[in-house]
Amino acid sequence: MKAIHQKQEHTRSYYAASVNEVTDYPALEGARSADVCIVGAGFTGVATALTLAERGYSVALIEANRVGWGASGRNGGQLINGISGSARIRKKHGEGIAEMLWELKWRGNDIIYDRVEKYAIQCDLKGGFLVVAKKPRQVAYFDEYAEEWKQHKFPYKYEMWDRQKTRAMLGTDAYHGGFICYRDGHLHPLNLCIGEARAAHELGVQIFEQSPVTGIEHGARPKVKTAAGYIKADAVVLAGNAYSLLEPKHLSNLVFPAGSYIIGTEPLPEDVVNKINPLDVAVCDANEVVDYYRLSADKRLLYGGACNYSGRDPASIKSYILPRMLKIYPQLKDVRIDYEWGGKIGIVLNRIPAVGRINKNVYYCQGYSGHGVCATHVMGEIMSDAVAGTMERFDLFANMGHFRIPGSKWMGNQLIALGMLYYRMKDRL
Concatenate the DSSP letters of all residues of 48-59 into one string: HHHHHHHTT--E
Which range in 43-47, 91-95, 422-426 is most confidently predicted, on average pLDDT? 43-47
| Mutual angle of helices 189-202 and 98-118, in 10-degree steps | 80
> How are beta strands 213-217 and 362-366 bridged, if at all?
unpaired
The rounded distance, in Å, linking the Cα atoms of 341 and 79 is 20
pLDDT of residue 245: 74
Please, which pLDDT band fits residue 406 given cuts at 50, 70 and 90?
low
Under DSSP, the state recorded for 352 is S
Q: How many CB atoms lie within 10 A of CB 402?
A: 16
Of 112, 13, 20, 180, residue with least CA distance to 373? 112
Mean pLDDT of 138-165: 95
pLDDT of residue 310: 63
Tell me how far the alpha carbon of residue 33 is from its chain's centroid.
Answer: 29
Amino acid, single-letter form, for residue 178: G
Q: Would you say residue 404 has pLDDT above 70?
A: no
* CA quadruple 415, 420, 421, 425: dihedral sign: positive
pLDDT of residue 8: 86
The domain defined by 126-186+256-347+408-429 folds into D-Amino Acid Oxidase; Chain A, domain 2 (3.30.9)
Question: Percent of the chain, pLDDT > 90?
Answer: 73
Mean pLDDT of 363-382: 92
Please, which pLDDT band fits residue 407 given cuts at 50, 70 and 90?
low
Write the class of the CATH domain 14-74+190-255+349-398.
alpha beta
The rounded distance, in Å, linking the Cα atoms of 106 and 111 is 9
Please, which pLDDT band fits residue 64 given cuts at 50, 70 and 90?
very high
Please, which pLDDT band fits residue 400 given cuts at 50, 70 and 90?
confident
pLDDT of residue 425: 46
pLDDT of residue 421: 47
Query: Which value, to the nearest 10 degrees, does the dihedral of the CA atoms of residues 273, 278, 280, 284 take?
Result: -90
User: For residue range 65-80, what is the model confidence (pLDDT) as tens digits?
Assistant: 999 999 999 999 999 9
The rounded distance, in Å, linking the Cα atoms of 392 and 327 is 46
What would you report as the CA-atom Rg of the chain, rounded to the nearest whole angstrom?
21
For 322-352, give one letter per residue: b (16+ CB within 10 A) or e. bebbeebbeebeebebebbbbbbbbbbbbbb
pLDDT of residue 79: 97
pLDDT of residue 302: 98
Amino acid, single-letter form, for residue 353: P
- 308 vs 366, residue with greater confidence: 366
pLDDT of residue 352: 86
Q: Would you say residue 40 has pLDDT above 90?
A: yes
pLDDT of residue 427: 45
Domain boundaries, the chain: 14-74+190-255+349-398, 126-186+256-347+408-429
Q: Would you say residue 104 has pLDDT above 50?
A: yes
Which range in 49-63, 243-257, 276-290, 412-426 is most confidently predicted, on average pLDDT? 49-63
pLDDT of residue 411: 47
- 117 vs 350, residue with greater confidence: 117
